Structure 1
């Protein structure tokens, strides 16, 4: 056993000092690595701290089959990518909120048209079979990746892929409603 493996075994036995030693050994380099993905030193530090927090939190059940160093780098990369993805989703949600707050400028005719198109789009999505609808919403509205959806629903990634393919085929039949909706918004906000 190398020193990292010994320290990790101590962590599994609730030894916080062993975790602190691993933290001190890898923290700086992992922060530099995470910064390549998240672009910010502060965010990189949060990512690395979360990686070690999760190790501590899952210490009793965590099984590392590679070297600890490899595990730390992969975990850091995955968490950094998730943070970037979540940030993009949050920005998109904020943009939607901003659009909705600007919605108040629309006149009565525009409001009615907006509501009609939105209802049509909601009906198209609601017409999907239950599991397909959930998968579609989790991916396209909540921004989850296929693997995250599979884990959340307890199904395989290939099932998620197949369901999304069918959902997209179905929804694309109604592409004109979606395009009308997008064009409507672009045109409305040009006049703001």
Structure 2
């Protein structure tokens, strides 16, 4: 059995090194769910786990010329997936720590009037900016940030691809960032209110 697996890996690796996209598709079909499962065990997040799969397979394609046909493909893939997962865990921890630190450095005392004014300003400016966006971009942003839907859920509801959802959300966020850079309201405050 191991010689059959080794023979299949040998063939796949040779084809990958030759730039054969159909071989890459075979690897994707054979390993993507397994890589996703490993990543999800640690991350407990669907989007991040999918990113691990994409990053792992992207690295496979980018480094295909360095593959050694004497060694099986699975250990190489899972080593890369483990590294990508650990990096993502570190980034998440750092990001969460930074958000927490930012939140703690803001005024600890509560001023209800000031908070109400700031909140009203944020809502007013956000609404004004959102209304200038193309309709589909507005809808994607509202479904993502206000209703908390995942990329897949938005894609299904709007009958568009996940890639299109990401494209529209990126565009909306760029526009909002640009507008908030021009205002006197702190950008971190805006993003904290969006994500909490």
Tell me the TM-score normalized by structure 2: 0.48
Tell me the TM-score normalized by structure 1: 0.48
